[in-house]
């Protein structure tokens, strides 16, 4: 019996001594290895487009439509969006929080790609062919467009309508996040709100950058951002600022 116990202890000791405490998570990669190859950028591009469909439906539009004067709830409506119908919602409302958080989450994704493209100097990187550089150029253009799109959406939902007389008022715009920063729980690290003029200036600047990288006109049913997309959205921004 004594020999068996000794053997078990020896096996246990060997098992623990052979454990590699430096193993990386199987479902994640280190941040500094996330964007290194052309395929990495192509994979990350999926994360730019996947949220866009949701941002063009659901609560992004339903909640606001329900606030309209001509909307009347019917018997048995189950109080869906009832706080919007009664104008009793606040900043802690789950729909409000989701819209706000999702816009900034997508901005963070775009900034992350822009940050790493600059960090690895992809235009001079020997691992990137001329075709790879062109593909990444397009992705960067999409990042600039999406950042403009999200800042504009935030301005539409969380700012007053543009009025030239009040557009330079402090905190009249949104917090403009234009560079990647690691997440932190320290709220003193987060920037404050801009003026509404600064918000629209940044949106227009990003659209100009997007047009430098994306020049193809696209085709009918094109699933990706193209030059026509940028022109159409630029017109919408100009109308909102008029």
Query: Contact 148/207 with Cβ under 8 angstroms?
Result: yes
For 57, 119, 141, 211, 227, the CA distances from 220, given in Å and listed in that order, are 22, 36, 20, 19, 13
Three-state SS at 141: helix
pLDDT single digits (tens) 89-120: 888 889 999 999 999 999 999 999 999 999 98
Average pLDDT, the chain: 87
Indicate whether 49 pLDDT > 90.
yes
Q: What is the pLDDT of residue 14?
A: 46
pLDDT single digits (tens) 121-154: 999 998 899 999 999 999 999 999 999 999 999 9
Q: What is the pLDDT of residue 30?
A: 72
Q: Which of 139, 94, 148, 91 is nearest to 117 (CA)?
A: 139
**How sure is the predictor about 25, in pLDDT bands with cuts at 50, 70 and 90?**
low
For 34-38, 198-202, 222-226, which range has the lowest pLDDT when averaged over its residues?
34-38
Considering only residues 45 and 34, tell me which one the structure prediction assigns the higher pLDDT. 45
Question: By percentage, how much of the chain surpasses pLDDT 70?
Answer: 87
Query: Contact 138/43 with Cβ under 8 angstroms?
Result: no
Q: Which residues contact 169 (CB under 8 A, 6 or more apart)?
A: 195, 196
Q: What is the pLDDT of residue 6?
A: 54
Q: How far is the first Cα of the chain from the last one, in angstroms, to the nearest whole number? A: 89
């Amino acid at each position: 019996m004594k020999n068996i116990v000794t053997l078990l202890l020896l096996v246990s000791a060997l098992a623990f001594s052979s454990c590699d405490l430096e193993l990386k998570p199987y479902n994640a990669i280190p941040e500094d290895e996330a964007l290194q190859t052309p395929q990495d950028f192509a994979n990350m591009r999926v994360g730019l487009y996947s949220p866009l469909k949701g941002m063009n439906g659901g609560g992004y539009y339903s909640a606001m439509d329900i606030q309209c004067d001509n909307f009347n709830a019917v018997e048995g409506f189950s109080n869906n969006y009832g706080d919007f119908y009664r104008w009793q919602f606040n900043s802690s409302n789950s729909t409000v929080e989701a819209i706000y958080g999702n816009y900034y989450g997508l901005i963070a994704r775009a900034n992350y790609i822009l940050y790493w493209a600059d960090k690895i100097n992809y235009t001079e990187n020997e691992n990137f062919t001329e075709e790879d550089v062109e593909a990444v150029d397009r992705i960067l253009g999409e990042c600039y467009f999406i950042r403009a799109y999200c800042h504009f959406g935030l301005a539409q939902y969380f700012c007053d309508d543009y009025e030239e007389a009040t557009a330079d008022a402090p905190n009249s715009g949104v917090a403009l996040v234009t560079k990647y920063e690691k997440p932190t729980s320290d709220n003193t690290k987060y920037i404050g709100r801009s003026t509404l003029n600064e918000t629209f200036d940044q949106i227009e600047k990003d659209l100009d950058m997007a047009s430098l990288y994306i020049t193809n006109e696209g085709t009918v049913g094109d699933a990706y951002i193209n030059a026509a997309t940028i022109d159409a959205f630029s017109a919408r921004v100009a109308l909102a600022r008029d």
